[in-house]
Structure 1
Amino acid sequence: MEEKSGDSLATVLVAGAANLTIALAKLVAGLIGGSAAMLSEAAHSAADTVTELLLLVSVRRSGKPPDERHPFGYGKAGFFWAMMAAVATLVGGAGFSVTHGVHEISHGEELGNLTPSYVVLAVSFVIEGVSLSKALSQLRAAAGRHRIRPLRLVRITSDTALKAVLFEDAAALVGLVIAAIGLLGSQWSGSALWDGAASVAIGLLLLVVALILIQSNLSLLIGQAAPRQVETGIRAVLLAQPEVEEVVELLTMMIGPGSIMVAAKIDFCDEAGAAGVEIACDEVDRRLRDRFPGVNLVFLDPTPTRRS
């Protein structure tokens, strides 16, 4: 599926600026109140900031044009750096939150002034909401261009930067609610158990998000095919060419965010002749690029079927 790298870059920059501001505010509030959940949220936002920086590298690297040493381009570098961003969330955010939460439960300390924490949580919720709104706006625009539902686009998109921002901003909003519940529970009960449990819950939430993003990027990195709907459309375009008698084999691969390579073995009609096959291949290439703007490379191999 084709996505605009400029839109993804803007989405990443908005999310990165939001996370950096929020991380500092949460850290100060967590130190004042002595809340494990707030410190976990600070680690969460700090990890998200590192993630946005890596996603920025991802968008920049994947946009480099092909050269002699990399004739297929640098698109898969985007998948690699996006996976590193997910690993940063796993190690920095989830790891710290779970271990710190367990420590708080085992050696609970009395909480201090929590007013700054509540203020920071409320402001953070608004800022994260703005960042998520930006990502959702891009998602709806892309879904409209491809005429599919936004949720389906999230599952099949190769725009790893957009997917990461969506998942992380959604997780951030849920994490803020969990942190608020933990603070209220500890304040009302006088026990640090609630605060520590909230920290562990935030860590587990980040763990799930990180594993989902790692699996998604790993699949793209090792050569994931184009979405089935796109492959069906590509096959239809090939068969619609008058000189094409049969599509013997069709292979596709995502070679970058929104970038597709198509390789097909085609059984052409015997009447087409050598010149006719050349013209047909050129026409098919043009039609595929017009119908699917994400198709950047097309390789067609005239191959007779066993029947022929």
Structure 2
Amino acid sequence: MVAFTKGHGTGNDFIIIADPDGELELTAEQVAVLCDRHFGIGADGVLRVVRSTAIVEGAAALAEEPEAEWFMDYRNADGSIAEMCGNGIRVFAHYLLRSGMATIDHGATLPIGTRAGVRDVTRSATGYQVDLGPWKLAGGEPLVRVDGLPVTRPGLGIDVGNPHVVVALASEAELASVELHRAPDLDPAPAQGANVEFVVPGEPLVRDGIGHVRMRVFERGVGETLSCGTGIAATALAVRYWAGAQAPDNWQVEVPGGTLGMRMFPAEDGEHVGLSGPAQLVFQGDVELV
């Protein structure tokens, strides 16, 4: 039997398994069974809590930041390995604090290793803020076809440690009409796939110096989710890019699971993006891996 905890960030839910010494070998099939909402616990992914010294990928994290004791080994619901998860890392940090495995002193940060590099987590008014690191335009402007929209739409490729394609829609009605029961078709298709976000601007777009948008997302390896932290970052970055030089650096992005904050700020290695929002643990138990 393996102990687990269930948690979520604005409805983006995860199975958390503590494996500090890296003794557990989770297969893709086991992850898929655990995440199945009918035959398993049900989740958008699995967060394995492992020391950076106990996982091969942790060596790069420790070389980047020797204080990054913990590594977030994240798996999508289909068992595939993902580079990063913005909601997941807040839930991961919350678990570490609640379980006594780590602390965040006032004004301090908690560095966490991921396959996209070390990410720093701090406390915020809404829960936690994670520095998602530098971002970049990536993948050009692929055409996106999705059920529910009659014509293809151009998307914008954004990389925030994992790949995204953001698609602007004209109205709330179009956003509601998008059907995400299967993955949107991208042309050209990224080699590693991509999360795809569909976004409409708020009315007005900017209020009191803060940008407002609504978004729905199809997560690579998962399907439609109630929230996607890195997708929220990509959405705000794309809308700011489209809006031009006068667009704000602070945004609120509404998703089906709630609202999260985004801010862009300068750093030594380029502009970074910070994501802030809640994290909750909802229950725990034991499960037999089959």
TM-score tier, shorter chain, comes to: under 0.3
Structure with greater strand percent: 2
Provide TM-score, normalisation by structure 2: 0.23
Provide TM-score, normalisation by structure 1: 0.22
Structure with greater helix percent: 1
